[in-house]
Structure 1
Amino acid sequence: MLMPLYMCTTFFCGIWVFSSNRKHLLSTLLSLEFIVLSLYLIMYFYLISFNYELYFSMVFLTFSVCEGALGLSILVSMIRSYGNDFFNSYSMLQC
């Protein structure tokens, strides 16, 4: 009974951190990964409880790894271009 409450709490904590922190790109990417991991746990326990195949969970993990790699490549390119990952130091007119 407590497990769904814990999973929903972790999901909403990740959304809260994502929406409240707007200074650094790295903390935003970490909160997105936290949300993805909590969604994976919710989906995994849902599939286990109804005795479904776990193939979809592997597809979900593949897409989440691709999303993480894309976020890290954007972070590296921003740090190489501007020297930091502060959102306030970027001007959208220069991009």
Structure 2
Amino acid sequence: VVPGKRQVFGEYCYNFIRNALVRDTIGHGFEPWLPYLVALFSFILINNWFGELFVFMFPTFSHVGYVYGLAIVSWFVYVIAGFKTKGIRYL
């Protein structure tokens, strides 16, 4: 089965995020973080595209609430991962 154009584009984006961003930044053991970072990267990219492509759309991340929300979620993920890795010694 030959993949279509959308599937090739999707796989290219996934491989770019996996190889260029996640694996080079995190290093060994990057696999558990890949779904979260792909979703985060895609969410930010699509929201920025909507702000640029459509003339009457207001960019989502120009409101500080979205940025704070993503920052809080990422911070909780970071803290929970620290507790899972080091236990109570993480404090």
- Does the 8 Å contact 1:40/1:61 carry over to 2? no
How large is the Cα RMSD of the aligned pairs? 3.5
The Cα shift of 1:72 comes to: 0.7
Unaligned runs of 5+ in 1: 18-24, 84-95
1:67 has 2:73 as partner: yes
Structure 1 counterpart of 2:41, one-letter code:
L
Deviations for 1:4-45, whole angstroms, at most 9, x for unmatched residues?
A: x5xx726x838xx8xxxxxxx963334312211111111111
Query: RCO greater where, 1 or 2, for CA within 8 Å and sep 6 or more?
Result: 1
Identical residues among aligned pairs (%): 9
The one of 7, 31, 40 equivalent to 2:44 is: 40
The Cα shift of 1:82 comes to: 8.6
In structure 2, the partner of 1:53 is 58
Using structure 2 for the length normalisation, give the TM-score: 0.51
Bigger helix share:
2
